[in-house]
Structure 1
């Protein structure tokens, strides 16, 4: 009799512990796998009703490196700065990712007007492709535009 009661108690405890999420506590959300090194393939810029698409696989290269708390980007021409297309840009800071809302706080930038600004993006990751869409608004630089960027993962 004591063994039967003990088995019923164990079975009851097991059943309750296997039900998963307790009522009133939120389910854990799956975090997007955003950490890694990403190479920008294309960027669409929408400003004043005009759309411009830039191919980042020709004449220039742009990478974004994201760890658990910070991001950094590097952008330069592919002609080693030797012609009229000479260009270099870099920046970085911390970020927050909540569901698909990715918020960058730009702490460092060669474009000093951009420093101290926060940018909200919606991100989607499908296999090795990251799509980032949001507004870039920097009043001091006269920037107010929507961007859509498509990256490919180059390193985990």
Structure 2
């Protein structure tokens, strides 16, 4: 009888663990569904930026700068501005496509000619008011080959 009781307890514990794993899978699927419904439209403020090149990780210092990304149905634009000076301002934009959680930007408008027309493919996730974008930026002509992770929060009206 005690053996049956112990097996029952073990089964309940295993079912609880499996249930927790199913919940995590459901949350991940929900994120993809939200992205597929084109919930990325809007204005976003960069709150975290990480760049990995070879064995170096660099986290962007956002204390003196603001970086925003604006997305409509099929175009995006981004702007970076230092808070206290006119130095360091840059921007760009173009078109994008979204298939599930695969987000691809075609950069058509940018000061760096070698980046014009280049496509960047990222994986995105939306969790509440946070958009997370990650992927590889590889532009040999510009000497760029890096993995980025960017986290944005939605700018409220």
Q: TM-score, normalised by structure 2?
A: 0.75
1:44 matched to 2:50: yes
Partner-residue secondary structure (3-state), 1:113: helix
Retained in 2: the 8 A contact 1:72–1:93?
yes
Q: Helix, strand or coil for the counterpart of 1:140?
A: helix
C-alpha change, 1:69 and 1:95, in structure 2 (3 Å) is: same
Partner of 2:11 in structure 1? none
Structure with max Cα Rg = 1
- Residues 36, 155 of structure 1: 8 Å contact kept: no
Q: In structure 2, how many angstroms separate the alpha carbons of the residues matched to 1:100 and 1:75?
A: 25
Q: Which residue matches 2:144?
A: 143
Higher helix proportion: 2
In the alignment, structure 1 residue 114 sits paired with structure 2 residue 115: yes
Which 4+ stretches in 1 moved above 3 angstroms?
none
| Alignment match of 1:34 (pick from 15, 40, 45) | 40
Match of 1:64 in 2: 69
CA contact (8 A) 1:132 1:149 kept: yes
Q: CA RMSD in A?
A: 1.3
Offset at 1:55?
A: 3.2
Question: Does the 8 Å CA contact 1:35/1:68 hold for their aligned counterparts?
Answer: yes
Alpha-carbon shift at residue 32 of structure 1 (Å): 4.0
Q: Distance in 2 between matches of 1:37 and 1:92?
A: 13
Matched pairs, number: 123
